[in-house]
Amino acid sequence: MLSGIIASTKLEADLIIRQLSEKEEISIQGKSFYKGQLNQNAEFVVCICGVGKANAAHGTALLIERFKPHSVYAIGVGGAYPSSGLHIGDIVIAEKEIYGDEGLIAESGVREKDETNFYTMDKINIPLCITDEVKYYNEFPMYLPRKLSGFKKKGNFVTVSTCTGTIEKGKEIEKRFNAICENMEGAAIAHICAFSGIPATEIRGISNIIEDRTAAPLNKAGIIKAAENAQKFLLEHIKQARA
């Protein structure tokens, strides 16, 4: 059986790509796919989807349509919320993926409101995904393999279109969704997998802690460390799963 791995940038998957044997590189609609074997002939396809929800959904749809994986792993880096207790380089696993931006901002007095009058899709009764069994609004449950069930650093991830760059906003989002970290692709990957009934597991390394920041790029060393740690963790999980 073939499994899929999705990352937004090659930096977040280069270690895994280098370890593929009998590797084949395929380009589909501007997306790069790397097909090969990991650990005792287990077959994988790595998709470099690009940054953001649209790219993630596009890459996931192509992966499923062309290669028909029985499961999907989303990997990469993420920013930890201020009260999460996480540190740069930590590995975290998603229990839920949540769209953080989809919803309604309205005047006070409309339904139940929070401090910013933000209403998720369930509050306005507009599902984002409907399958034969369930309606999905902002939240998508993630698959946790049995051998990872005891992992301690897991929780809700939030997918945003705009990275959070203030402590105040970070605390607001983490409180609203009871979340530990954010990224820009995970919910879109989970969304497309839900349509096909494919289990999706998300593993991220923490590249930064959300704080008051300028528009300057994040520290590259933190990003590299987080990306490498996430890949090493997944490779070790694959090895143990095949043992």
Please state the domain extents for the chain. 2-102+138-242
**Other Cβ atoms closer than 10 A to 197:** 9
How many Å apart are CA 184 and CA 164, to the nearest integer?
Answer: 11
Strands 42-48, 31-38: pairing kind:
antiparallel
Model pLDDT, residue 206: 98
Convert the pLDDT of each residue in 188-215 to its tens digit. 999 999 999 999 999 999 999 999 998 8
Q: Where are the beta strands (DSSP E) in 81-210?
A: 91-99, 103-105, 118-120, 129-130, 135-136, 139-141, 154-159, 179-183, 200-209
Q: Which CATH number fits domain 2-102+138-242: 3.40.50.10260, 2.40.50.140, 3.40.50.1580, 3.30.1330.30?
A: 3.40.50.1580
Considering the entire predicted model, what is its pTM?
0.94
Model pLDDT, residue 107: 77
The SS3 call for residue 149 is coil
Model pLDDT, residue 167: 96
Supply angle C-alpha 210, 216, 221, rounded to 5: 70
Report which of 160, 20, 178 is spatially closest to residue 78, judged by C-alpha positions. Answer: 160
Phi, psi for residue 232 in degrees, rounded to 5: -60, -40
User: Residues of the chain whose pLDDT is less than 70?
Assistant: 108-116, 243
